[in-house]
Amino acid sequence: MSLKETHRRHSIRKNRHPTYVITEVIKKGERGYMCNRQFFRTLQGANDCLMKLNKKHKRLVRSRPAPTIPPRSHSHRTPPPYQKPPPYRSRIPLKPLRSLSPPPIPPRPANRLQKKY
């Protein structure tokens, strides 16, 4: 019996020399740096991450941080404080939606087909 060969499509391709990049990102409204899919608040923390990766992988390709992201003026804008609207004074007096008593029932007209004797 022969061993089953794996298909090329399903073989796992590993990058022998990965490139780790420090990128500046905004996460949850906070500016920080990503290194190896980890979030760091300071550039020093991201550089320490790269140094640890450099010790682990001897032939590591290091790259400098990407250009900084300009802050968005419309992101995370605080809403204006709540101002109570002025009291509404109508010149026309308000009418009730329904009258309190039902309208009077008009009298029935006399039956014209009645026979006179």
For 76-85, what is each residue's pLDDT tens digit? Answer: 667 788 888 8
Q: How far is CA 112 from CA 108, 109, 115, in A?
A: 12, 9, 8
| Mean pLDDT value across residues 20-44 | 83
Alpha-carbon distance of 107 to 101, in angstroms, equals 18
Average pLDDT of span 9-14: 56
pLDDT at res. 17: 57
**Euclidean distance between CA atoms 41 and 22, whole angstroms:** 12
